[in-house]
Amino acid sequence: MKIGVFDSGVGGLSVLKKIKEKIDFADVIYYGDSINSPYGNKSIEEIQELCLKIGEFLIDNQVNIIVIACNTATAAALETLRERFTSVPIVGVVQPGATMAIKQSKNKKIGVISTPLTAKSGVYEKAIKGLNPKYDVFQKGCDLLCPMIEKGWESSEKNTEILKSYINQLPDEIDTLILGCTHYPLIREEIEKVVDKKIVDPAEETAMHVLFELNRLALKKGVKKSRKEKISIDYFITGDVNKFKEVGERFLGEKLSNIYQPLIG
């Protein structure tokens, strides 16, 4: 079996990392659209067009499931992709993140940091209130964080202050903070230094959802799952391959190979 994972760049590696921890019987194609990063400052129509091209690429490479490892793309294009590509299940990161936050929060006040587009869409508030309308959701769009992480975040007093400036705009009474951009887990240690809330990384619950869907598919198609000693991962990166490799290896703690540039951008 084969999993297709895509993001606007390196952020989706936070989802891939959790998938690797939980699924040992399926290979992966990872698509990082770094040449078009960040998605958070684009129009919904632009994001949908980019996601449809990526979806076609993954379908052509015969994936059994598509994982939108990007909150902005999930907010803008999840339903569009599901309408276009009906042959495979498509999983986003928002609903799993919302589910996890509800489990974590005790006072029903949840904060979300994300790209501006994800915040503007209100997608987390809709998802959380759809599960339980008694929860209050506060969202903050952070326009600088994704590009800074994509280029390779450096620990510095200046960067810490930028991070604080965004988080401080959320109400102090929240007890749970959702990392509403898959890039943010790459700097989780930095975030934990300035936040005293429970932190929710939607990647964990997303990986569980992917595992559930693959098990369902295997049962439906009569596919025998066989554990692999090491799953195969092919990376297709539209932008700077060397920068992706540098940031990705730092986050995953291992050497990355099988990195290619796709013919579409």
Asked whether the beta carbons of 37 and 56 are under 8 A apart, the reply is: no
Segment 85-121, tens digit of pLDDT: 999 999 999 999 999 999 999 999 999 999 999 999 9
Question: Which residues are designated catalytic?
Answer: 70, 181
pLDDT at 265 over 50: no
The CA-based dihedral angle spanning residues 89, 42, 117, 54, taken in that order and rounded to the nearest 10 degrees:
10
Residues in contact with 14: Cβ distance below 8 Å, sequence separation at least 6, in sequence order? 69, 182, 183, 184, 185, 186, 201, 203, 251
Asked whether the beta carbons of 214 and 64 are under 8 A apart, the reply is: yes
Q: What percent of the chain has a predicted confidence (pLDDT) above 90?
A: 86
Integer CA distances (angstroms), 24 to 63, 76, 140, 221, 223, in order: 16, 30, 36, 19, 15
Alpha helices, DSSP H only, in the chain? 13-22, 44-60, 71-84, 94-104, 116-121, 123-131, 145-151, 157-167, 188-194, 202-221, 241-252
Integer CA distances (angstroms), 113 to 129, 227, 230, 245, in order: 17, 37, 34, 26
According to CATH, where is 3.40.50.1860 located in the chain?
A: 2-92+203-260, 94-202
User: Which of 138-142, 207-211, 222-226, 230-234 shows the lowest per-residue confidence on average (mean pLDDT)?
Assistant: 222-226
d(CA 34, CA 188): 21
Segment 7-56, tens digit of pLDDT: 999 999 999 999 999 999 999 999 999 999 889 889 999 999 999 999 99
d(CA 237, CA 240): 7
Answer whether CATH 1.10.10.10 is correct for domain 94-202.
Answer: no
Q: For residue 227, which of 236, 235, 237, 218 has the smallest C-alpha distance?
A: 218
Q: Which CATH number is 2-92+203-260 given?
A: 3.40.50.1860
pLDDT value of residue 264? 59
Asked whether the beta carbons of 202 and 96 are under 8 A apart, the reply is: yes
Asked whether the beta carbons of 163 and 189 are under 8 A apart, the reply is: no
What's the distance, CA 250 to chain centroid? Answer: 18
d(CA 98, CA 100): 5
